[in-house]
Structure 1
Amino acid sequence: MGTWRSLPALPRLLILTQFAFNVGFYAVLPFLAEHLGGTVGLAGWLVGLVLGLRTFSQQGLFVVGGALVDRFGVRPIVLVGCALRIAGFAWLGYAQAVWAVVGAVLLIGFAAALFSPAVESEIARQAVCWEEAGGGPRANVLALFTVASQAGAFVGPLLGALLLAVDFRAACLTGAGVFVAVLAGHFRLLPQHIPGRARTRLGGGVRPMLRNRRFLAVCCAYGAYLLAYNQLYLALPEEVERAAGSQAPLAWLFALSSLLVVVAQLPVTRWAADRLDLRRSVAAGLLAISAGFAVVAAVRPAGWTGIGGLVPAAGFVVLLTLGQMLVAPAARAWVPDLAEDGRLGLYTGAMSSISGLIVLVGSAATGSLLDSALPPAVPWLVLAVVPVASLVLLPRPQRA
């Protein structure tokens, strides 16, 4: 609360924005795989591909949104992104054909590719300004941002679970309604011009960025984290269905993850700031994520069901969440040290774009593994290896 009270109005608005974004988003997304596989009737590999396309159209196109933010500013990009998200959720609620589902999912993802780089790059810049003004470590502001994000992710699935008692369309239209409120609020409150944020031309920044090996290495590690996080929507629902006979416990596992972040993110960030540099924080988080997959892989051959069968899934969620609490604020705090002046939006977007490409390829591969006749532990073992393999790429940070 001390950090919150000391922040200016703009970073407070951005933190609350992230909360609202995730309430609308997570009222729909956790239940998308079941809707696609059950109501729409898509094969497992196609469900995985659609989820990967959603992530890639969001994360993969962040670089476009980030460049547009550097050129045109935060306000117009946020407003356009909200309008597109409203249209995408409404379309998804009525989509039945595969092409319509894919179109709606791509539109939903592209909307976030506009507004998320705007919000994330500006909160990172505001965090650096707050640190330079003597407010404290920048990671504290970014941890608050993560807490708001996960508080929204806590409320969203519970809201979506209630709305599914009506149908999936009700969840989609409610998500659209949340973004209508966000659009109206930001039209009124978001400043036209933000002091200290210079606008740059669109061209000229990509080539130096692609030669920045330190930045690209951090992107790959962040991509390994996002691929793991994406399994909350692909591998975890299948494991919950197998153990419990339905996906009813899924909303509670999402709530557990979000509640852990809300309660523990700030203490974990303070502990990491005192004892770990940025590289070690990211590395520790990736190791925790790998351990989460390993827990399920170790127990999966036993074929436990019922409450006992959900224990490994809960262990996976807890360890994945711990890894997220270590990786996400540290990686975001790292980017301003690696970006060129005036290109923070581009670099913020590019990190998500590169990691989104990793998720696209990895999600399709994971969907095929889950559909295969391989031993049930194999997909979880493969996923456990990915975060560990990415550790060797991490560079030494330029600052602690």
Structure 2
Amino acid sequence: MRSLANIFWLGTKEIRSFIHDYVLLGLVLWAFSVAVYAQAQSSSQELHNAAIAIIDEDNSALSRYVIEGFYLPPYFKPPELINLRDVNRLMDNGRYTFILNIPLHFERDVLARRQPAMQVNVDATVMVQAGIGAGYIQQILTTQIRNFLSRSERAPPSPVKLDIRIAFNPNVTTSWFTSVMGIINNVTFLAIILSGAAVVREREHGTMDHLLVMPVTPFEIAMSKVWANGLVITLAVGLSLSLVVRFLLGIPIAGSIVLFLFGVMIYLFFATAIGIFLATIARTMPQLGLLYLLVATPMNVLSGSNTPLESMPRGLQIVMQASPSTHFVSFAQAILYRGAGLDVVWPEFLAVALMGGLFFGLALFRFRRVSAQTA
């Protein structure tokens, strides 16, 4: 009971120190509010208001039917008709991202099964829209031409109809993914920074010597920093999901936020241990920041939050199974996107807890050695 009391009161000291550190307090508020909102709204991966122009040299019923297919707000702006001689000038000026050229005798050649060619000029400096938009244009052209031929009774209807059903994100809206993944990445970022800064701050302010001469053990000091910083981040995650993601962005959460926060607390046991471990190596805050870049950045990039784990080389997939961040992203997506319950995610919880406990033991061993040298 005395040890628990020491851990509790040392933790409250950490919380008071955090509240009075306006830089770290501002960092937490920014990371779970403005940063999440900005990431959700600015990194769109779908087509939105793309500028398109069309050169209609055929001026036939088919060409007009094709043009009607591009009145698809908010994917494309209303298409504008231009002359062939203006293509180079308009593309050089960046006026349009796409220019579609419907050639002369297009309808006649299509009905005669001559497979005429259509040209699409794409401004690839608008990288995301250029890649996605070219696929949209091809799909629209295929659909419009097939429908026109079916209505003209010159071609039989397609024997196969593809019925696409998209689960969990029906409109394939990027912000539904990036907002939650932004919160998940910030959990790792702030857990390492806050716990590491707590140890470095003690050393820089000279209060570490005071702690070591008190009747407390290195384990109690380390655990107080773990629970205090973990509590701060868990509360920030819960508020961010409720206020920023659900209320401000209007993004639905399929699963239980309480279950997810329970998983966050398990993962923070590991992430804060990394911060303490790095703080025993770094002597100053700048050194801690550099070590963070070497450790946390690969963890976030390779965890599956940005790129699916299945898209990585097989060897890298096996290696990343030893990282709790991979399992954290896995159960976070399962709970928040697919509404999974504890019966589905408990193996991921167990893996994170076991690896977190192992790494906490390593961090505690290193912390005790450094404390003994300081004493």
TM-score by length of 2: 0.36
Greater C-alpha radius of gyration: 2
* Structure with higher strand content: 2
TM-score by length of 1: 0.34
Higher relative contact order (CA 8 A, sep 6+): 1
